[in-house]
Structure 1
Amino acid sequence: MSDISRHDREISSNLASWQAKPLLRLVYRDIHLAIARELAPLPGLAVELGSGIGNIKEVIPDCLRTDLFPNPWLDQTENAYALSFGDDSVANLILFDVFHHLRYPGTALKELARVLRPGGRILIYEPSMGALGKLVFGVFHHEPIALRDEITWLAPGGWTAADADYYAAQGNASRTFRSEQVELEGLRVESIRHFSQLSYVATGGYSKPQLYPTRAYPLMRRLDALLDRMPALFATRMLVVLSKPVA
């Protein structure tokens, strides 16, 4: 079984990079703003699963930040397979780079649908496998894209959330959310948007060198807008919006 504590070690490393890279903070702020614009306009909790270093609160101040491991900047610990929230109690669930860590995504989505209010939304931000995305995540990222590996949708009998181990397959969102016609565990796909996010790629992320000066960020965003029109070639990121139908 893989070492699930690896996730916590990555968080500590990412925090150091976040503090050292102003450009990274600018890019993430704009990504979080794009996510915030898709939130369901319902009263109730907005919960982020897998919050990592917890930076989403700068854009969504009332967001409840959670992760598998406790950290002083987080609000509570949660496991996507066994959430502590009651049925129909959460207005919005945000998963930023979490879906590709779910070994059994169908099992997790069932649990997310359980706690989501009718009319509520699940916002999933993930790697996208355009040609550039395959290059960036396949060559320059330590996690596998696993495009040819079988996706095990549901956990086997007898499996529990306590058995969760470290898993990564960065191509899983692109493979799962191929069209808005997909139906998933009682959830409806509202929209799927793909982004080039070259402005993010060239920051070097959390582990690679920054490739352009911070002052050039507005120019890079204009380039992103052009490349977004050709997702098959340039998509590296995607935002999937799921909703729970109102009965």
Structure 2
Amino acid sequence: MLKDVFVEFHHAFHRLAERHFKVEGLQVEIGAGIAPMRDTYPGVLATDIVATEHLDMALDAESMSLGDHSVRAFYGQNCFHHFPHPDRFFSELERTLVPGGGAILIEPFHGPLAAFLYKRLFKSEGFDRHFPSWETPSTGPMNGANQALSYIVFVRDREAFERKYPGLEILHQEICGNYPRYLVSGGLNFRQLLPDALVPLMKVVEKLLYPLRRVLGLHHIVVIRSKP
């Protein structure tokens, strides 16, 4: 069931890149984890960057580095909120992206159910929409990550983001609708609650619950583009 959710995330990445990035260049997944996008789209480079400070460091076992304006699309699933210095990430986007290329991030959503769950599920990761800084503290309850970081940067502090990075634009945001399956699957940390045979039924439930995604959603997608 969880693999099914990951594959849908991959398709969402591909759909949005095809719609918004009409340029040529590399496609790179950052923080690929256990379900890399290359399993669904072989042309995507899978890397294991999560909390590095510079994206031009060694990216994989081949020590591949990225040249200036060489990347059409970055894809990141649940990794952005682990970056201790988001400003460095955005600076690297400006350096490495082809004009008209961009980054697509799937991150924890900030709706009522998401806020309730994320505050309680992980001891090493907090969820604080009011935290004043974009940077993750090295000590305290959020020493692993602030799962509300995408809300802070792209919603609460959007005007500040646009002032600091005039070459980047927040092009699109949407809420993922597969939250019932993600929740029932147990995610990466918990046991699956229902058998895989019920996946078709779960998809029907998701269609019925789609109008409630702003209340019940667990993930959202943010598309950032380097201005042509």
Answer whether contact 1:199 1:220 (CA < 8 A) is retained.
Answer: yes
Aligned partners of 2:207, 2:224: CA distance in 1, in Å? 24
- Name 2:192's counterpart in structure 1: 210
Gaps of 5+ in 2: 57-64, 137-142
Secondary structure of the 2:67 match is coil
Aligned partners of 2:126, 2:225: CA distance in 1, in Å? 29
Answer whether contact 1:195 1:228 (CA < 8 A) is retained.
Answer: no
C-alpha displacement of 1:54:
4.9
Amino acid at match of 1:212: L
- Name 1:110's counterpart in structure 2: 91
C-alpha displacement of 1:153:
5.7
Q: TM-score of the superposition, structure 2-length normalised?
A: 0.80
Q: TM-score of the superposition, structure 1-length normalised?
A: 0.75
1:82-231 pair list within 5 angstroms? 82-83=55-56, 84-142=65-123, 143-152=125-134, 167-178=144-155, 183=162, 185=165, 186-196=167-177, 197-231=179-213
Answer whether contact 1:151 1:172 (CA < 8 A) is retained.
Answer: no
Answer whether contact 1:198 1:224 (CA < 8 A) is retained.
Answer: yes
Pick closer, same or farther for the CA change 1:108–1:167 going to 2, 3 Å.
farther
- Give identity over the alignment, percent: 27
Answer whether contact 2:104 2:222 (CA < 8 A) is retained.
Answer: yes
Aligned residue pairs: how many? 205
Aligned partners of 1:227, 1:65: CA distance in 2, in Å? 33
1:46 to 27, 32, 35: 27
Aligned partners of 1:198, 1:111: CA distance in 2, in Å? 35
For residues 186-233 of structure 1, what are the alpha-carbon distances to aligned partners after superposition, in whole Å with 9 as ceiling and x for unaligned? 211110001251211110112212122212212222322343323431
- Name 1:29's counterpart in structure 2: 7
Gaps of 5+ in 1: 1-22, 70-77, 155-165
Aligned partners of 1:80, 1:228: CA distance in 2, in Å? 37
Answer whether contact 1:36 1:59 (CA < 8 A) is retained.
Answer: no
Aligned partners of 1:170, 1:56: CA distance in 2, in Å? 22
C-alpha displacement of 1:80:
5.2
Pick closer, same or farther for the CA change 1:152–1:207 going to 2, 3 Å.
closer
